[in-house]
């Protein structure tokens, strides 16, 4: 969707002096034309101050769940409620009320000890399984690269989390459409995750986590430019890139001075705490099978034509 309201001035409006550094050339035009934008996180700059975490909360607070209690009793009993409404302050993992958190790792590499802080949120994959496999149309990928869950529609089945290589979306029970349908028997709330401040981007303002960062850790721009900059940055620090090819390509690229295998081994992982492991393209088979589906009707037409031909030959032979 094209957005004529986006100008360089509006994109920079909320940024302080030096904020222009977080915008790559072509960003304004790409945003105006609804083209794919990606973010680059320079981990060598992140000091783990948490400003991005607080800004994220403040910017997105109006989207956070307001569950109605008591929750409908679930059937069957194996279906567990997920209630974070009494633990809204948790900020050391992803929750429905915390869409961005910082992982820290102390890693030895090249004879030096590196302390690396890693802001973690949705990777905004280029071909996201969460959006492709959502059976309800609640999750979708937008042309500007944002992967977003529609909280008016989501039933909280958690399938998006199950198919996400990083288990990013988090569930809150007691909220959403399922309460109006069959609250005991289908659905279990709404799934929440980073939507890269879609409302700000639509108005031509960069996401809150980017705007507020005192160290300019993040850069936003057209994906091709971001990838180019990520490689240049990695080369300058003899570092490594994560997110360019993971899951077939994401719109969140990390550049680190230490290998991501070492970071993955050093960070605390578990529910709401994603890893930094290598991830194959989860949708690759479907991409190939879709091509097979294009050929299938051709085979069907050929079978039909050959069937007619065979029948006509038989009939001609019968007449003779």
Partner 1 sequence: MKNRTPVTRWFDRVFVVCCSVLAISGLAQMPIFKRYYIADIPGLGWLADFYFTHKTHYIFAAFLLALLAQVLVLWFFRWRTDLKLSGGGMLRVGLLAGIVFTGILRMIKNQPGMSFSPGMTMIVDWAHLGLVLLLGVTAVILAMVKRRAYATWKK
Comparing C-alpha atoms, which of 168, 159, 138 is closest to residue 246?
168
For partner 1, give the closer residue by CB, 235 or 284.
284
Minimal distance, residue 200 CB to partner 1, in Å: 17
CB of 43 to partner 1, least distance (A): 27
Q: How far apart are CB 145 and partner 1 at their closest, in Å?
A: 9
Q: How far is the CB of 11 from partner 1 (least distance, A)?
A: 21
Q: How far is the CB of 99 from partner 1 (least distance, A)?
A: 18
Which of 114, 205, 128 lies closest to 164, judged by CA?
Answer: 128
Nearer to partner 1, 1 or 17 (CB): 1
Cβ atoms of 180 and 72 closer than 8 Å: no
28 versus 282: smaller Cβ distance to partner 1: 282
Q: Of 221 and 257, which CB lies nearer to partner 1 in the complex structure?
A: 221
Which residue do the tokens 């939507």 mark? 195
Residue number, 162 or 199, with CB nearest to partner 1: 162
Q: Which helix (H) or strand (E) is 132 found in, with range?
A: helix 129-133
Location of structure tokens 């294009």: 294
Q: Give the chain's count of helices (H) and strands (E).
A: 10, 10
Cross-strand partners of 242: 254
Q: Which run of H or E residues covers position 12?
A: helix 8-13
Query: What's the CA gap between 98 and 31, in Å, rounded?
Result: 26
Nearer to partner 1 by Cβ, of 39 and 126: the residue is 126
CB of 151 to partner 1, least distance (A): 11
Name the DSSP class of 34. Answer: T
Nearer residue to partner 1 within complex by CB, 114 or 124: 124
Share of the chain residues as helix, strand and coil, in percent rounded to the nearest 5: 35, 20, 45
**Interface residues toward partner 1, by CB under 8 A:** 1, 76, 78-79, 126-127, 129, 131-138, 140-143, 148, 150, 153, 157-159, 162-163, 186, 248-249, 282-283, 285-287, 289-290, 292-293, 295-301, 303-305, 307-308, 311
List 256's β-bridge partners, or say none: 240
DSSP helix/strand/coil, 150: coil
- We find the least distance from the C-beta atom of residue 42 to partner 1, in angstroms, to be 26
CA distance 228 to 234: 10
């Amino acid at each position: 969707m094209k957005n004529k309201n986006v100008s360089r001035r509006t994109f920079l409006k909320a940024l302080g002096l030096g904020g222009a550094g977080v915008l790559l050339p072509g960003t304004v035009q790409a945003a105006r034309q609804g083209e794919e934008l990606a973010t680059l996180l320079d981990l060598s700059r992140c000091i783990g101050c948490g400003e991005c975490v607080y800004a994220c909360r403040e910017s997105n607070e109006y989207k956070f769940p307001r569950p109605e209690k008591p929750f409908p009793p679930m059937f069957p009993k194996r279906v567990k409620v997920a209630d974070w409404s009494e633990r809204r302050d948790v900020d050391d993992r992803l929750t429905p009320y915390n869409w961005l958190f910082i992982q820290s790792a102390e890693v030895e590499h090249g004879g030096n000890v590196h302390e690396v802080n890693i802001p973690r949120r949705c990777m905004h994959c280029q071909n996201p399984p969460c959006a492709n496999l959502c059976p309800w149309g609640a999750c979708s990928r937008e042309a500007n690269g944002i992967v977003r869950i529609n909280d008016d529609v989501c039933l909280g089945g958690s399938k998006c989390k199950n198919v996400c290589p990083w288990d990013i979306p988090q569930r809150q029970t007691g909220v959403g459409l399922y309460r109006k349908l069959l609250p005991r028997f289908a659905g279990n709330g709404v799934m929440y995750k980073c939507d890269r401040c879609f409302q700000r981007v639509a108005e031509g303002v960069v996401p809150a986590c980017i705007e507020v960062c005192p160290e300019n850790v993040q850069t936003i721009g057209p994906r091709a430019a971001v990838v180019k900059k990520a490689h240049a940055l990695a080369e300058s620090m003899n570092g490594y890139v994560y997110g360019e090819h993971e899951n077939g390509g994401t719109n969140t690229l990390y550049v680190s001075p230490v290998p991501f295998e070492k970071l993955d081994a050093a960070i605390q992982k578990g529910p709401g705490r994603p890893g930094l492991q290598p991830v194959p393209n989860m949708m690759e088979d479907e991409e190939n099978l879709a091509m097979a589906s294009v050929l299938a009707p051709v085979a069907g037409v050929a079978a039909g034509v050959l069937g007619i031909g065979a029948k006509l030959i038989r009939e001609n032979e019968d007449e003779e």
